[in-house]
Amino acid sequence: MSADRARGLPVTVGTHCAYCALQCGTRLRRNGPAVEVEPSPDFPVNRGGLCQKGWTAPVLLTAPDRLRTPLVRGADGELAPSGWDEALDLIASRLARLRAEHGPDAVAVFGGGGLTNEKAYALGKFARVALGTSRIDYNGRFCMASAAAAGNAAFGIDRGLPFPVTDLSDADVVMLAGANPAETMPPLMRHLSRTRLVVIDPRRTRTAEQAALHLQPAPGTDLALALGLLHLAVTDGHLDKEYLDTRTTGFEAAWQRAVTWWPEHVEQVTGVPVADQRAAVTMLAEAGRRYILTGRGVEQHSKGTDTAAAFINLALALGLPGRAGSGYGCLTGQGNGQGGREHGQKADQLPGYRVITDPEARAHVAGVWGVDPASLPGPGHAAYQLLDALGTPGGPRALLVFGSNPVVSAPHAAHVARRLAALDLLVVADLVPSETTELADVVLPVAQWAEEEGTTTSLEGRVLRRRPVLAPPDGVRTDLEVLHGIAVRLGQPAHRFPVSPRAVFDELRRASGGGRADYAGITYERLDAGEALYWPCPDVPGGDHPGTPRLFLDRFHHPDGRARFAPVEHRDPAETPDTDYPLFATTGRVLAQYQSGAQTRRVPELVAAAPEAHVEVHPDTAARYHLGEGDLARVTSARGSTIARVRLVRTLRTDTVFLPFHFPGTGRANLLTGPALDPVSGMPEFKVSAVRVEPWREKAT
Q: With H, G, I as helix, E, B as strand and everything else as coil, classify residue 152.
A: helix
Question: Which H/E stretch holds residue 55?
Answer: helix 52-56
Of residues 286 and 5, the one with the higher pLDDT is: 286
Query: What distance in Å separates the CA atoms of residue 101 and residue 96, rounded to the nearest whole number?
Result: 9
Residues paired with residue 477 on neighbouring β-strands, in sequence order: 446
- pLDDT tens digits for range 440-462: 999 999 999 999 999 999 999 99
Query: What distance in Å separates the CA atoms of residue 672 and residue 518, rounded to the nearest whole number?
Result: 40
The predicted model scores a pTM of: 0.96
- pLDDT tens digits for range 372-419: 999 999 999 999 999 999 999 999 999 999 999 999 999 999 999 999
Residue 7, pLDDT > 70, answer: no
Residues 6 or more apart whose Cβ sits within 8 Å of residue 479: 115, 119, 122, 123, 402, 403, 429, 446, 447
8 A C-beta contact, residue 639 and residue 412: yes
Question: Which H/E stretch holds residue 153?
Answer: helix 145-155
Amino acid in the structure at residue 261: W
Among 330, 360, 395, the domain boundary falls at 330
Confidence of residue 576 (pLDDT cuts 50, 70, 90): very high
314 plus 345 within the same structural domain: no
Query: What distance in Å separates the CA atoms of residue 639 and residue 661, rounded to the nearest whole number?
Result: 16
161 plus 269 within the same structural domain: yes
Confidence of residue 5 (pLDDT cuts 50, 70, 90): low
The full DSSP string for 483-534 is: HHHHHHHTT--GGGS---HHHHHHHHHHHHTTSSS--TT--HHHHHTT---B
8 A C-beta contact, residue 496 and residue 511: no
- pLDDT tens digits for range 495-532: 999 999 999 999 999 999 999 999 999 999 999 999 99
**Phi first, then psi: what are they for 601, rounded to 5°?**
-70, 0
630 plus 500 within the same structural domain: no
92 plus 116 within the same structural domain: yes
261 plus 352 within the same structural domain: no
8 A C-beta contact, residue 226 and residue 198: no
Query: What distance in Å separates the CA atoms of residue 110 and residue 397, rounded to the nearest whole number?
Result: 13
Among 512, 532, 554, the domain boundary falls at 512
Percent of the chain, pLDDT > 70?
98
Among 269, 301, 330, the domain boundary falls at 330
- pLDDT tens digits for range 291-342: 999 999 999 999 999 999 999 999 999 999 999 999 999 998 888 999 999 9
Average pLDDT over residues 657-673: 96
559 inside domain: no
24 inside domain: no
How far from the centroid of its chain's Cα atoms is residue 25's Cα? 20
Average pLDDT over residues 24-52: 94
Radius of gyration, CA atoms only, the chain: 24
Query: What distance in Å separates the CA atoms of residue 491 and residue 93, rounded to the nearest whole number?
Result: 11
Residues 6 or more apart whose Cβ sits within 8 Å of residue 475: 68, 69, 445
What integer pLDDT is reported at residue 8 of this predicted model? 75
Confidence of residue 139 (pLDDT cuts 50, 70, 90): very high
Amino acid in the structure at residue 10: P
239 inside domain: yes
Q: For residue 324, how many C-alpha atoms fall within 13 Å in the half-sphere facing its CB?
A: 1
What integer pLDDT is reported at residue 333 of this predicted model? 80
377 plus 497 within the same structural domain: yes
Pairing assessment for the beta strands 213-215 and 196-200 based on DSSP bridges: parallel
Pairing assessment for the beta strands 454-457 and 349-350 based on DSSP bridges: unpaired
Range with lowest mean pLDDT among 6-15, 182-191, 214-223, 636-645: 6-15
Query: What distance in Å separates the CA atoms of residue 608 and residue 591, rounded to the nearest whole number?
Result: 12
Confidence of residue 623 (pLDDT cuts 50, 70, 90): very high
8 A C-beta contact, residue 294 and residue 177: yes
Residue 4, pLDDT > 50, answer: no
618 plus 687 within the same structural domain: yes
Q: With H, G, I as helix, E, B as strand and everything else as coil, classify residue 8.
A: coil
Amino acid in the structure at residue 129: V
Residue 619, classified by CB atoms within 10 Å of its CB into exposed (0-12), middle (13-18) or buried (19+), is middle
Residues 6 or more apart whose Cβ sits within 8 Å of residue 268: none
Amino acid in the structure at residue 603: V
437 inside domain: yes
Query: What distance in Å separates the CA atoms of residue 380 and residue 346, rounded to the nearest whole number?
Result: 9
What is the average pLDDT value for the chain, to the nearest integer?
Answer: 96
8 A C-beta contact, residue 383 and residue 547: no
Count of CB atoms situated within 10 Å of the CB of 104: 17
184 plus 286 within the same structural domain: yes
Residue 237, pLDDT > 70, answer: yes
Instruction: Note the helical H segments in 287-412.
Output: 296-299, 304-317, 337-340, 359-369, 383-389, 406-409
- pLDDT tens digits for range 62-104: 999 999 999 999 999 999 999 999 999 999 999 999 999 999 9
8 A C-beta contact, residue 158 and residue 441: no
What's the number of domains the chain is made of? 3
Residue 663, classified by CB atoms within 10 Å of its CB into exposed (0-12), middle (13-18) or buried (19+), is buried
344 plus 196 within the same structural domain: no
What integer pLDDT is reported at residue 270 of this predicted model? 98
501 plus 419 within the same structural domain: yes
507 inside domain: yes
134 plus 260 within the same structural domain: no
**Phi first, then psi: what are they for 58, rounded to 5°?**
-65, -20
Query: What distance in Å separates the CA atoms of residue 182 and residue 370, rounded to the nearest whole number?
Result: 47
305 inside domain: yes
Average pLDDT over residues 185-204: 96
Q: What is the domain range of residue 390?
A: 71-142+336-446+478-512
Question: End-to-end CA distance of the chain, in Å?
Answer: 36
- Residue 408: which of 687, 596, 160, 196 has the closest Cα? 596
Q: For residue 275, how many C-alpha atoms fall within 13 Å in the half-sphere facing its CB?
A: 1
452 inside domain: no
CATH at 490: 3.40.50.740
Query: What distance in Å separates the CA atoms of residue 268 and residue 432, rounded to the nearest whole number?
Result: 48
Query: What distance in Å separates the CA atoms of residue 228 and residue 224, rounded to the nearest whole number?
Result: 6
Sign (positive or negative) of CA dihedral 167, 170, 174, 179: positive
CATH at 236: 3.40.228.10
43 inside domain: no
Query: What distance in Å separates the CA atoms of residue 338 and residue 120, rounded to the nearest whole number?
Result: 11
- pLDDT tens digits for range 169-191: 999 999 999 999 999 999 999 99
CATH at 632: 2.40.40.20
369 plus 407 within the same structural domain: yes
